[in-house]
A and B are shown apart, each in its own frame.
Chain A
Amino acid sequence: MSAPNCLRGCLVQRPAGGAAATLLRHSTVMPATAAHFSTSTPLHGNMMKPQKPGPKSKVLLVAKQWKKGKVADRGGKSPLPGERKAFRKRILLSNNNALPVEGLTYIGPGDLLDHKNVGKVMSIPDAAVDQLRTAEVFKPTQTWSIFRKPSMLVRSETVDLLNRMHTALGKEKALRLVIAGDRITGKSMLLLQAITHAYLNDYIVIHIPEAQELSIGATEYAPVPHSDPVQFMQPNYVLKLIQAIRKANEKLLAKMTTIYSHPDLPQNIPVSSPLLALANSAKEPESAWIVFRALFQELTVKGHGRPPILFSLDGLAHIMKMSEYRTAAFEPIHSHDLALVRLFTDCLSGAVSLPNGGAVLAAMTRGNAPRVPSLDLALSRRAAEQAGRHKNQLPQRPAFAKDYDDRVEAVLQTVELLQLQGVSKPEARSLMEYWAASGVLRSLIDEATVSEKWTLAGNGIVGEMERAALLTSRF
């Protein structure tokens, strides 16, 4: 841990004699006008202008400040509005400093269904990477940025989940499932694997990357006209979502044609025009929700060469409570009264069916999730059912508790539950071998090392293994 810091410190902080002067002069030639992490340097022309004062004056200035003990002026500008957040949220999917791994294969359309691939690390094909990036499936907290190309471990849970999706597809039904599990067990990663599989197998993917964006009152809302009881659309968010769907599923949408006439659309879309045109017709936030409804209606027509749909959402707890929005009468709005959320929960509960098969997946999140007792209760009831408990023996809500919500239980009445846990030791070994081959883990991978990290990571929790093995310099 200390070695790189020390090296940096030796080189920068204690230049001896003449070296100091050259360093300082050098700093005047290339002034750090931008914050050192800025990714938008070429945007500002004035940055490249040479500084007026000569090298000597700069040296003097620095020396003066040193003596007085003032905070040294680092120079440069403060980041533009939004730049810090953009840096925080940016997603780097490759790193040229990492070693390329020999024998890493790309995931094919059927590879994630094959039990032989359990415990292998496989790469995501570049086309799918673009689609996943468009749909914002990658997260900044995942460690993509330290490897050469985005690759992931195929877990037994992955193969099981995708086989269930595949079986449901054969029956022209949708798999409705909630992914739960402890902190950093890989819930979002499993969702990513399901979405990757969906893209590779020509599903239409509708992905809501952060459920909290819908419910914390950070995006525009307005009542849906003629809805009873009144629902609220979120025009800007839905417009963004339509654009993401359009971009990621462009080829598929271009192939399909509309079969309904949609008279209330802002732009006339005649029958049997491509769905892409319908998606393109969403230009203004005002019409976004209408277009989205029309698009969803077209996609869920039975037959007509419609592909299966994967409708997924990350951060389920955020849409299982009252939202931050208020009605005109200042009543709080339940998240399920937001139109997009309502569509998702209807799909999840089975009220809206996906006749061409597919899946409705909801991942829980543990990092930044509100405590929703009714959600916890509903999931524990589903877990008890799956464990074979009788209907009378399911967990009940506490007798005098008030903060329970019937709408949550209604949505989760018939969903399946996937409780994610740590990886097995062979899977852990394969993952660590991939890390070692990438040059980020410098130790011999043998039974003892794998076992040690597996134990330290709370019996194989993937994120904790990364913490214990890769990210040691952060602590």
Chain B
Amino acid sequence: MVFILGVNFHEQKLVKKALETFYALGPQISARVMAKHYIHPRAKMGTLPPKTVTALTAELSSMTIESEARKIVQDNIKRLRDMGTYRGRRHAMGLPVRGQNTRTQIATAKRLNKVERAG
């Protein structure tokens, strides 16, 4: 088990996939983070030396990921809501924001669109 930023990862897990479990850390950023620490693209968590693990944790803690990134999104939505815009209203109603049809296929919007957006 390897600890990174308070999360426990299995040793067989790919480093790339492990990094991408963090919110606001996608394929591009994870590739860059790995290159920065000389971790090869197919490395697994178990093979990382402890030095690299601590460096990774330090690196990640300085990035805007997880709750900070969520906060930014929530602030943006809140701003729209406060201004009383159509987009803000759609967020509050849990409906698609960008003019999609709503007869069917709005499950994602229903799940995600909130003023206090989680995902």
A and B touching (C-beta < 8 Å)? yes
Q: Which chain A residues have a beta carbon within 8 Å of chain B's beta carbons?
A: 81, 217-223, 324-330
Complex: how many Å from CA A220 to CA B34? 12
A81-B12, A330-B35 known; A220 vs B41 contact (CB < 8 Å): no
- Flag whether B47 is at the interface (Cβ < 8 A): yes
Shortest C-beta distance, A345 to chain B (Å), equals: 21
Complex: how many Å from CA A81 to CA B12? 10
| B residues in contact with A219, CB < 8 Å | 40
- Flag whether B98 is at the interface (Cβ < 8 A): no
A330-B31, A330-B35 known; A221 vs B40 contact (CB < 8 Å): yes
| A residues in contact with B40, CB < 8 Å | 217-221, 324-325
- Determine whether the beta carbon of B43 is less than 8 Å from that of A326: no
| A residues in contact with B35, CB < 8 Å | 326-330
Shortest C-beta distance, A289 to chain B (Å), equals: 14
Given contacts A217-B42, A329-B35, 20 further A-B contacts (CB under 8 A): A81-B12, A218-B40, A220-B38, A220-B40, A220-B43, A220-B47, A221-B38, A223-B38, A324-B40, A324-B41, A325-B40, A326-B34, A326-B35, A328-B36, A328-B37, A328-B38, A330-B31, A330-B32, A330-B35, A330-B36
Interface string of B22-46 (1 = CB under 8 A from A): 0000000001101111101111000
Q: Which chain B residues have a beta carbon within 8 Å of chain A's beta carbons?
A: 12, 31-32, 34-38, 40-43, 47
Complex: how many Å from CA A221 to CA B40? 7
| B residues in contact with A325, CB < 8 Å | 40-41
Complex: how many Å from CA A328 to CA B55? 14
Shortest C-beta distance, A243 to chain B (Å), equals: 18
Complex: how many Å from CA A102 to CA B21? 63
Chain A residue nearest to B43 in the complex (CB): A220
| B residues in contact with A221, CB < 8 Å | 38, 40
| A residues in contact with B36, CB < 8 Å | 328, 330
12 A-B interface contacts by CB (under 8 A)? A81-B12, A217-B42, A218-B40, A219-B40, A220-B38, A220-B40, A221-B38, A325-B40, A328-B37, A328-B38, A330-B31, A330-B36
Q: Is the interface of A mostly helix, strand, loop or mixed?
A: loop
| B residues in contact with A222, CB < 8 Å | 38
Chain A residue nearest to B37 in the complex (CB): A328
Complex: how many Å from CA A81 to CA B13? 13
Shortest C-beta distance, B1 to chain A (Å), equals: 16
Chain B residue nearest to A285 in the complex (CB): B49
Chain B residue nearest to A286 in the complex (CB): B49
| A residues in contact with B43, CB < 8 Å | 220
Shortest C-beta distance, B31 to chain A (Å), equals: 7
Q: Chain B CB within 10 Å — which of A81, A223, A325 has the most?
A: A325
| B residues in contact with A330, CB < 8 Å | 31-32, 35-36
Complex: how many Å from CA A325 to CA B38? 9
Q: Chain A CB within 10 Å — which of B31, B34, B42 has the most?
A: B42
| A residues in contact with B41, CB < 8 Å | 217-218, 324-325
Complex: how many Å from CA A328 to CA B36? 4
Q: Chain A CB within 10 Å — which of B31, B37, B41 has the most?
A: B41
Complex: how many Å from CA A407 to CA B32? 26
Complex: how many Å from CA A223 to CA B35? 12
| B residues in contact with A328, CB < 8 Å | 35-38
Complex: how many Å from CA A92 to CA B47? 30
Selected from B12, B31, B42, B47, the residue in CB contact (under 8 A) with A326 is B31
Shortest C-beta distance, B69 to chain A (Å), equals: 21
Shortest C-beta distance, B67 to chain A (Å), equals: 27
Complex: how many Å from CA A223 to CA B37? 11
Shortest C-beta distance, A26 to chain B (Å), equals: 38
